[in-house]
């Protein structure tokens, strides 16, 4: 058998990028089928696809199923994920329905690729903001075990889907024309504003919104550190695409900024841009369409000799979703962890 029959569930921002990344990275796909809620013809990455409705039978004969887990297809894995496994698929799910399920490895390849080996046919992609933070912290944690993480995120509107991107663009146009700004996707206007709320408040961690809780719980699971102290503040910002994070991380022993730069530069998938005197540091404008995680502003915490401050930026639709999912499947194929 040469190549795999691949199915992508979801044809929104993430689903389209999954198709693009599969082709860009020359994934050994014999065929790529796209499923969504409704049947239609859609041009994805310059190629016309007959998008089929998502049904259980659509997974018959498929080897790998990527669930985009965004926009209209959110929750599709809850209905069809394990059914796809029963029908012989290796499932990689970008949705949040099974991330904390004990049966399901939660994987960022830079941090815990070996966890894929224990899969039961189903692997979960973490939240976009978690992925880039964990990718940046993994090589440092291997050197000196982490004790505490405090992170503030600056998350682009693309994290809410295509409709939110359109709303930002429409608000910009309306403002320039002196017209009223329409607000639908967020509780407040996003143009010229910051909104320190992503998702809703949860009883589990009083005062924390859902996105912040995801970062706490997912980071602990990925690193296998259930008692790791993590605090997150997640903010939606008027940026089209690309999430940024300011991270303060405390270790059990010191790591100098110079050593941190060396460790990060040696890690596949990490790009270090760190020359603040010359005004060189990662920015979301520069990382759109890139698969790597970018790190800069690496510096010693002046109040704690065992702590560093980092600035981490990544394309939330690529590394934060599509690319990470495809990397999981690549590793499963390369290491023989995918049943044929």
* Tens digit of each residue's pLDDT (9 = 90 or more) over 319-339: 999 999 999 999 999 999 987
Question: Distances in Å between the alpha carbon of 162 and those of 61, 93, 97, 197, 240?
Answer: 31, 19, 21, 19, 10
Joined tokens for residue 23: 């082709």
pTM of the model: 0.96
The predicted structure's pLDDT at residue 73 = 47
Catalytic residues: 128, 243
User: Of the ranges 9-18, 67-76, 122-131, 243-252, which one carries the lowest mean pLDDT score?
Assistant: 67-76
Q: Strand pairing of 229-236 and 146-155?
A: parallel
The angle at the Cα of 334, spanning 331 to 339, to the nearest 5 degrees, equals 90
All CATH 3.40.50.720 domain ranges of the chain, comma separated, are: 4-125+321-334
Task: Give the homologous superfamily in CATH for domain 130-315.
Answer: Dihydrodipicolinate Reductase; domain 2 (3.30.360.10)
pLDDT at 338: 87
Of the candidates 187, 190, 185, 191, the one whose C-alpha atom is nearest the C-alpha of residue 201 is: 187
Residue 157: CB atoms within 10 A of its CB come to 25
Per the CB < 8 A criterion, the answer to whether 311 and 296 are in contact is yes
Indicate where the chain has its CATH 3.30.360.10 domain(s).
130-315
DSSP string, 8-33: EE--SHHHHHHHHHHHHTT--EEEEE
**The pLDDT of residue 2 is above 50:** yes
**Residue range 187-204, pLDDT digits in tens:** 999 999 999 999 999 999
Q: Domain spanning 4-125+321-334: which superfamily? A: NAD(P)-binding Rossmann-like Domain (3.40.50.720)
What pLDDT, on a 0 to 100 scale, did the predictor assign at position 74? 55
Is 294 in contact with 242 (CB distance < 8 Å)? no
On the CB side of 148, CA atoms within 13 Å amount to 8
Question: For position 339, what pLDDT does the model report?
Answer: 73
- The predicted pLDDT at position 258 comes to 98
Please provide the average confidence, as pLDDT, over all residues in the chain: 96
DSSP code of residue 108:
-
Could you report the per-residue pLDDT of 278-313, keeping only the tens digit for each? 999 999 999 999 999 999 999 999 999 999 999 999
**67 pLDDT band (50/70/90 cuts)?**
very high
């Amino acid at each position: 058998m040469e190549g795999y029959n691949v199915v992508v569930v979801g044809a929104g921002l993430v689903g389209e990028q999954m198709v693009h990344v599969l082709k860009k990275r020359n994934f050994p796909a014999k065929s790529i089928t796209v499923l969504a809620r409704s049947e239609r013809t859609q041009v994805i990455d310059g190629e016309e696809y007959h998008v089929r409705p998502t049904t259980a039978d659509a997974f018959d004969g498929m080897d790998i199923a990527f669930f985009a887990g965004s926009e209209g297809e959110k929750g599709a894995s809850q209905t069809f994920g394990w059914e796809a496994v029963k029908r012989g698929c290796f499932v990689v799910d970008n949705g949040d329905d099974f991330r904390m399920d004990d049966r399901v490895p939660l994987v960022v390849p830079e941090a815990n690729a070996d966890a894929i080996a224990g899969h039961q046919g189903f692997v979960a992609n973490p939240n976009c903001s978690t992925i880039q933070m964990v990718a940046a912290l993994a090589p440092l944690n291997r050197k000196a075990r982490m004790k505490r993480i405090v992170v503030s995120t600056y998350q682009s509107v693309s994290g809410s889907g295509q409709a939110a991107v359109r709303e930002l663009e429409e608000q910009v146009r309306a403002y320039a024309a002196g017209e009223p700004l329409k607000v639908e996707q967020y509780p407040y206007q996003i143009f010229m504003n910051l909104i320190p709320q992503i998702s809703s408040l949860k009883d589990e961690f009083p005062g924390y919104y859902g996105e912040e809780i995801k970062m706490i719980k997912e980071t602990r699971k990925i690193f296998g550190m259930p008692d790791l102290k993590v605090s997150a503040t997640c903010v939606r910002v008027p940026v089209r695409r690309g999430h940024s994070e300011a991270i303060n991380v405390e270790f059990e022993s010191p790591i100098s900024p110079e050593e941190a730069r060396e460790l990060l530069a040696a890690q596949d998938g990490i790009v270090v841009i760190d020359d603040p005197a010359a005004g060189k540091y990662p920015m979301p404008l520069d990382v759109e369409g890139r698969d790597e995680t970018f790190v800069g502003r690496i510096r010693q915490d002046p109040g704690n000799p065992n702590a560093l401050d980092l600035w981490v930026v990544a394309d939330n639709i690529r590394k934060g979703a599509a690319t990470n999912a495809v990397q999981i499947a690549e590793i499963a194929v390369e290491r023989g962890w995918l049943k044929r």
